[in-house]
Structure 1
Amino acid sequence: MSPRYERRQRGGGGALLLLIAAAALVVAVLAIFTDVFSGKKAPDKDTDSPAVTQPADGEPDGTGDADNTAKDPEGDQKGGQSGNGDGNTDKSTVTTTKPAASNVITTDATPYQSGGVYIVGNAGYEMYNYVGSLAEKYQSTVNAVADSLSGVSQVYAMAIPLSSSITLPDSLLSDIPGSDQAQAEKDILAGMGQNIKTVPLHDALNAHRTEYIYFRTDHHWTALGAYYAYVQFCNVKGITPHDLSDYEVSQYTGFLGSFYNDGGKPQAMADDPDTVNAYHPVSSTAAMKYGSSEDSELTGGKVIFDESTAAASLKYGAFIMGDNPFTVIENPEVSNGQSCIVVKESFGNAFVPFLVDHYQTVYVVDYRYYGGSVSALAKAKGVTDVLFVNNLSAIRGSYQMGKLAGVK
Structure 2
Amino acid sequence: MMKQSAERLLVFGFVGTLFLVALFFFILPRERFSELENRYLQASPHLTWDNLMSKEYAEEAERFVTDHFPFRDEWLWIKSTVEQFRLQQENNSIYKGKDGYLLEKFLEPDYTKIQQYTDSVNLFVSNQSQVNMTFMLVPTSIGLYPERLPWLAPSYPQKKVNQFFEDQLLNEITFMNGFQFLEPHATDPIYYRTDHHWTTYGAYLAYVAYAEQKGWDPLSKKDFQIQTVSNSFLGSYHTRSQFNGITPDTIEAYIPREPTHTKMYIADTNETITGMYDTSFLAKKDQYSYFLGGVHALMKLTTELESRQIEQDKLLILKDSYAHSLIPFLTRNVPEIHVIDIRYYNGSITEYLTKNEINDVLFLFNTSTLVSDSALLKLNY
| Match status 1:354 vs 2:329 | yes
Give the match's secondary structure for 1:150: coil
Q: Which amino acid aligns with 1:390?
A: F
The equivalent position to 1:304 in structure 2, one of 260, 277, 280, is 277
Give the match's secondary structure for 1:248: strand
User: How far 1:376 moved relative to its partner?
Assistant: 1.7
Distance of aligned partners of 1:352 and 1:111 in 2 relative to their CA distance in 1, 3 Å threshold: farther
Q: Distance in 2 between matches of 1:315 and 1:204?
A: 26
The equivalent position to 2:341 in structure 1, one of 363, 366, 369, is 366
Q: Is the 8 A contact 1:49 1:262 kept in 2?
A: no
Q: Is the 8 A contact 2:261 2:275 kept in 1?
A: no
Match of 1:103 in 2: none
Q: What do residues 256-292 of structure 1 show as CA deviations (whole Å, max 9, x unaligned)?
A: 11111110x22221xx101111223554212111122
Distance of aligned partners of 1:280 and 1:371 in 2 relative to their CA distance in 1, 3 Å threshold: farther
Match of 1:75 in 2: none
Q: Is the 8 A contact 2:95 2:150 kept in 1?
A: no
Q: Which amino acid aligns with 2:112?
A: S
Match of 2:122 in 1: 143
Distance of aligned partners of 1:6 and 1:130 in 2 relative to their CA distance in 1, 3 Å threshold: closer
| Match status 1:404 vs 2:376 | yes
User: How far 1:205 moved relative to its partner?
Assistant: 1.0
Match of 2:304 in 1: 332
Match of 1:344 in 2: 319
| Match status 1:221 vs 2:198 | yes
The equivalent position to 2:369 in structure 1, one of 394, 397, 400, is 394
Distance of aligned partners of 1:49 and 1:308 in 2 relative to their CA distance in 1, 3 Å threshold: closer
Match of 2:36 in 1: 46
Q: What do residues 300-345 of structure 1 show as CA deviations (whole Å, max 9, x unaligned)?
A: 253122247422x211001111100111111121544521011111
User: How far 1:185 moved relative to its partner?
Assistant: 1.0
Match of 1:266 in 2: 243
Match of 2:136 in 1: 158
Distance of aligned partners of 1:71 and 1:159 in 2 relative to their CA distance in 1, 3 Å threshold: farther
Q: Is the 8 A contact 1:219 1:259 kept in 2?
A: yes
1:72-151 superposed matches below 5 A = 112-120=89-97, 122-128=100-106, 129-151=108-130
Structure 1: gaps of 5 or more residues: 8-43, 51-57, 73-109
Structure 2: gaps of 5 or more residues: 7-33, 41-53, 68-86
Distance of aligned partners of 1:232 and 1:360 in 2 relative to their CA distance in 1, 3 Å threshold: same
User: How far 1:3 moved relative to its partner?
Assistant: 5.0
Distance of aligned partners of 1:167 and 1:6 in 2 relative to their CA distance in 1, 3 Å threshold: same
Q: Distance in 1 between matches of 2:252 and 2:270?
A: 31
Q: Is the 8 A contact 2:190 2:202 kept in 1?
A: yes
User: How far 1:174 moved relative to its partner?
Assistant: 6.7
Output the aligned Cα RMSD.
3.2
Q: What do residues 127-164 of structure 1 show as CA deviations (whole Å, max 9, x unaligned)?
A: 2233212221221222222222212x201001110101
1:22-61 superposed matches below 5 A = 46-48=36-38
Q: What do residues 183-235 of structure 1 show as CA deviations (whole Å, max 9, x unaligned)?
A: 21111122111220111211321211111111111111111111111221122
The structure whose residues are more often helix, as a share, is: 2
Match of 2:189 in 1: 212
Distance of aligned partners of 1:3 and 1:119 in 2 relative to their CA distance in 1, 3 Å threshold: farther
Q: What do residues 8-32 of structure 1 show as CA deviations (whole Å, max 9, x unaligned)?
A: xxxxxxxxxxxxxxxxxxxxxxxxx
| Match status 1:188 vs 2:165 | yes
Match of 2:292 in 1: 320
Match of 2:13 in 1: none
> Which of the pair has more CA radius of gyration?
1
Identity of aligned residues (%): 23
Q: What do residues 359-393 of structure 1 show as CA deviations (whole Å, max 9, x unaligned)?
A: 12001101111121222211211123101101111
Q: Is the 8 A contact 1:340 1:383 kept in 2?
A: yes
Distance of aligned partners of 1:178 and 1:229 in 2 relative to their CA distance in 1, 3 Å threshold: same
Q: What do residues 87-129 of structure 1 show as CA deviations (whole Å, max 9, x unaligned)?
A: xxxxxxxxxxxxxxxxxxxxxxx88111110112632101223
Distance of aligned partners of 1:45 and 1:338 in 2 relative to their CA distance in 1, 3 Å threshold: closer
How many residues of Structure 1 are paired with residues of Structure 2 in the alignment?
313
Q: Is the 8 A contact 1:119 1:125 kept in 2?
A: yes
User: How far 1:180 moved relative to its partner?
Assistant: 1.2
Q: Is the 8 A contact 1:217 1:257 kept in 2?
A: yes
